[in-house]
Amino acid sequence: MFAEVGLLLLLLGTVAAAIRGAIPLLFSQLSPLRHYCRSLSQLCSTALVLSVISLAICFVSDDFSVRYVADHSNSQLAFYYKAAAVWGSHEGSLLFWLMAMTVCMTRIHKQNQFGFDSATVMAWISTAFGAFLIFTSNPFARILPDVPIEGRDLNPMLQNIGLIVHPPMVFLGYVAVSVLFAGAMAILYRGELNQLRQQWLRRWTLISWVLLTGGNVLGAWWAYSQLGWGGWWFWDPVENSSFIPWLVTTALLHSLYLNQEKQLRLTTLLLCISAFSLSLLGTFLVRSGVIQSVHAFASDPSRGYSILVILALVAVGGFTLFARNASRFEFKQLPPLNGRQGLLALGVVLILVATVAVVLGTIYPVIFQALDLGAISVGPPYFNSIFVPLTIASASLLTLLLSNNTPLRVLLWALAIVFASLCNWAWAEQPYWLLWLGAFGGSLLLTSCIVAALQQRQSLPATLAHTGLAIAILSATAVSNFEQQAMVQMGPGEGRFVGNIAFVFESSETVSGRGYQAQQATIRLEDSDGNELSYLYPQRKHFGATNMQLTVAAVEHGIIEDRYISMGPTLQSGKHLIRISRKPLINGLWFAGIMMIGAGFIALWQQRRRRQCA
């Protein structure tokens, strides 16, 4: 019953969104029907919220007559994973996304013309998503009469706390980006970008930036803790699909700062359109089946083509309106590059160049394959060789903005050069330019942020965000270049030194959990004198419902380093393939992410206070 209720609510919400979007097109501003638009927005959002709740009830009640539930749940699945499975794959994630969009549509539907126009654009987008769900990705479809006794279970790789938090944060970030798109379209249509509109854009840019920052950090942490290969970022196309909009919103934040002087106004509007278009491009990559990834949600090309149509409509409509109405905005000459405003504009350009590089590296294999030219892979070497120098260049520009004292700038640059050179000389086996750049850029930005904080040359949110970026650069440089690791075959009583720590395989045993059995190893850690340090317990899980195996790493977290052990399958010799890693300063990445998210929340709180006091 709940499946039918959920489907009816989805239909109701989509029809309400379609009517809400059609009224401004069909009737004049004096029409009494326009007064019902806000009620239609509220009806749409209420229906979609109840539709998501209906799907969640289907999961919690183990209604395996619903295909989506049967494919992604199991009676042995923990309650919280059943609830999170609502957005654990294609159909449910898009329903969640649609629900959030309609809630935001109601939130921005104010009495003024700008709010009305923005909500109208959101209604059109919601209608497209609702039609897409109904015709190609119905999450409430039944499998009758052959109802399975048991579900296939949720993908074991998704049975992690990261699933509960990471996808919703990314989807909500996309929703905030769609609000920016709607606002930009309304501004372009009316030809007015005043101070109030800029504050509105800044607020929603901060919201999207905070959500996408959290989603990317949690995604990296999930890959590190769950996938068992020990990495945290591999430039996977699905990782890039959420990282690209984050880069654009980062550039957008800085361009909005320049808008205070009426500079980069058109760039700001163009970035709003681009950010949403690129989020739809990422959605197409994730759900079309054109790429292979452990993160990918679907492999049905027809769904991908439908998303491609929505992307084309959004991009063509947005860029066409921009081209037609851009001349209605006052153009102010860009500031000289030797001033603060000019350096900030150059920083925006560098971020956008880095974005283009990531986009090209992500979609080039897809284009190459679509042209029937064979298969090609674009991996970390490409992204690192282009993205890292651009990031360090942007960080170096920041240091020029954070201090106007030339002797002090020279001193900070000299210290950073010495530090980077010492890192290369003391720890690297051979000179490595990426190591030098990371150490140089991270240390230069960190010391500049400290000096700027002492001199109070930037706001608290900006100081926290830039300091977090510096810590992230240094942590990524350290763990990428100074990690100690070994891949060995080990059995009971055998050990291996990694650095000055011995990892001794004591024993293995079979343990059971909810829906799985696991082979668990006991690994003892000793110092060079044989003194016991700690124990770690890596597992190799086997999920009976899906007949899948999953490596669950054991991690000992520390301020200086993490000690990381993952266990492969049992070999013919009776031993296990063990991956041992010592990862220096990797927790700086998570700390940096928390700092940046905190900076965004503080900026939002400060903006709210200023708005209340105005």
pLDDT in tens, 216-275: 999 898 888 877 677 788 888 888 889 999 999 999 999 888 766 566 788 899 999 999
Beta bridge partners of 516: 513, 543
Torsion from C-alpha of 68, 74, 75, 79, nearest 10 degrees: -80
Cα–Cα nearest to 559, from 598, 532, 580, 588: 588
**CA atoms of 207 and 243, how far apart (whole Å):** 15
- Residue 533's H or E segment, with its range, is strand 532-536
CA distances from 443 to 335, 413, 419, 471 (A): 28, 9, 8, 8
Please, are residues 130 and 98 in contact by the beta-carbon 8 Å criterion?
yes
Cα–Cα nearest to 586, from 610, 608, 604, 559: 559
Over range 421-437, report the average pLDDT.
79
Over range 310-321, report the average pLDDT.
93
Q: Record the tokens describing residue 151, joined without a space.
A: 């579900």
Whether the full predicted model's pTM is greater than 0.95, yes or no, is no
Q: Record the tokens describing residue 202, joined without a space.
A: 């800044």
Q: What is residue 545's predicted lDDT score, i.e. its pLDDT?
A: 73
Beta-carbon contacts of residue 162 (< 8 Å; ≥ 6 apart): 218, 219, 221, 222, 225, 226
Q: Record the tokens describing residue 87, joined without a space.
A: 């957005």
Q: How confident is the model at residue 431 (pLDDT cuts 50, 70, 90)?
A: low
What tens digit of pLDDT does each residue of 274-299 get? Answer: 999 999 988 887 766 555 554 455 55
Q: What is residue 163's predicted lDDT score, i.e. its pLDDT?
A: 72
% the chain with pLDDT above 90: 52
Residue 600: how many other CB atoms lie within 10 Å = 24
The helix/strand/coil state of 75 is coil
Q: What is residue 292's predicted lDDT score, i.e. its pLDDT?
A: 53
Over range 301-310, report the average pLDDT.
78
Over range 511-524, report the average pLDDT.
88
Q: What is residue 140's predicted lDDT score, i.e. its pLDDT?
A: 96
Q: What is residue 332's predicted lDDT score, i.e. its pLDDT?
A: 65
The helix/strand/coil state of 298 is coil
Please, are residues 300 and 91 in contact by the beta-carbon 8 Å criterion?
no
Q: What is residue 334's predicted lDDT score, i.e. its pLDDT?
A: 65
**CA atoms of 138 and 131, how far apart (whole Å):** 10
What tens digit of pLDDT does each residue of 520-533 get? Answer: 999 999 998 889 99
Over range 349-369, report the average pLDDT.
88
Question: What does DSSP assign to residue 571?
Answer: P
Q: What is residue 354's predicted lDDT score, i.e. its pLDDT?
A: 94
Report the chain's mean pLDDT, rounded to a whole number.
88
Over range 433-462, report the average pLDDT.
90
Please, are residues 337 and 203 in contact by the beta-carbon 8 Å criterion?
no
Q: What is residue 203's predicted lDDT score, i.e. its pLDDT?
A: 95
Beta-carbon contacts of residue 405 (< 8 Å; ≥ 6 apart): none
What tens digit of pLDDT does each residue of 128-153 get? Answer: 999 999 998 899 999 988 888 888 88
